[in-house]
A and B are shown apart, each in its own frame.
Chain A
Amino acid sequence: MKATIYVTLKQGVLDPQGEAVKNSLHVLGYQEVNEVRVGKYVEIWLEGKNRAEAQKELEEMSDKLLANPVIEDFRVEITEG
């Protein structure tokens, strides 16, 4: 089974990296870009769980380690299995 976890900065949390990327895109001529937020993409392969159990466990992993709930949100998607 394969899962994809998206970790993004919470709304309202300033993203200096996103700001820098946005400015760079403007320099490249992409003036239509209003906002850029940079996040993380984590792929996890696991076995021995049914889908519901895996979903629960992956959310636990995200909450404990993959994301910092003070500044980040996460979304778990099970893509194969």
Chain B
Amino acid sequence: MKFGVVVFPGSNCDADCYHVIKDVLEQPVDYIWHREKEIKGYDALILPGGFSYGDYLRTGAIARFSPVMPAVMEFADQGGLIIGICNGFQILLEAGLLPGAMLRNRSLTFICKPVWLKVQNEATPFTNQLQKGEVLQIPIAHGEGNYFCDPSTLQSLKDNNQILFTYCGPNGEEDDIHNPNGSMANIAGIRNCKGNVLGMMPHPERCSEEVLGGTDGFKIFASMLKWCQEVRL
């Protein structure tokens, strides 16, 4: 399974993602610079975290018009797997590949800490190695992760099982106390209608090895590999 990590000016989690795919998942991976206009031969793309274009205007707003983006949209359209992490999620929202938008965290502070996530839908290319209701611990690191959408969009996200991860407590409590940023319905990660594009604020690449204190994040990359090997191919 071949991965591509899309690198924008200001991406800063690109090397972490590359490392996890190459050395932990042990799959081939390339960096794809944002000026590339063609994306060929990949099974999955990672839009990594960071501060593309310095977060100018709005997070992801400028990256969304990078030369590589039409090819990313086409890749999504053709059913390729895309995972947008943190700033990558923000870019997917700005590009309209996922519904909604990000607001400033309600605390107005940049939050960098491990949080708990509840798996809401295990039947996806990104979560098939997880159980529904399973609680994961994955770190967040963002200033604008306060997910917002209008009520009808929220309803359709729920109706189509598009919410994959919600913020929760260590025992799965989905309450406001364990909502770190004010996200609507505690949303931490959603997929598109078709199911091949995931955006999530937490960083699975930062907890994919024991040496980093946890391996919950690895299960997401392992799910993508499993799906690609068994379902798609």
Q: Which A residues contact B (CB, under 8 angstroms)? A: 13-17, 20, 65-66, 68, 70-71
Contact check: which of A13, A17, A65, A71 meets B108 at CB < 8 Å? Answer: A17
Nearest-neighbour CB distance to chain B for A65, whole angstroms, equals 7
Q: A65-B65, A70-B99 are in contact. List 16 more A-B contacts (CB 8 A).
A: A14-B103, A14-B106, A14-B146, A14-B148, A16-B103, A16-B105, A16-B107, A16-B108, A17-B108, A65-B62, A68-B94, A70-B93, A70-B100, A70-B101, A71-B103, A71-B148
Contact check: which of A16, A17, A66, A70 meets B182 at CB < 8 Å? Answer: A16
Q: Which of B37-93 contact A (CB under 8 A)?
A: 57-58, 61-62, 65, 93
B149 at interface by CB-CB < 8 Å: yes
Q: Which of B111-158 contact A (CB under 8 A)?
A: 146, 148-150
Contact check: which of B58, B106, B146 meets A68 at CB < 8 Å? Answer: B58
Known: A13-B148, A16-B108. A68 touches B101 (CB 8 A): yes
In the assembled complex, the Cα of A17 lies from the Cα of B104 at a distance in Å of 8
What are the residues of chain B within 8 A of A17 when measuring CB–CB? 104, 108
In the assembled complex, the Cα of A33 lies from the Cα of B105 at a distance in Å of 23
Nearest-neighbour CB distance to chain B for A19, whole angstroms, equals 8
In the assembled complex, the Cα of A12 lies from the Cα of B131 at a distance in Å of 36
Known: A65-B57, A65-B65, A68-B94. A16 touches B146 (CB 8 A): yes
Task: Verify B57–A20 contact, CB threshold 8 A.
Answer: no
What are the residues of chain B within 8 A of A14 when measuring CB–CB? 103, 106, 146, 148, 182
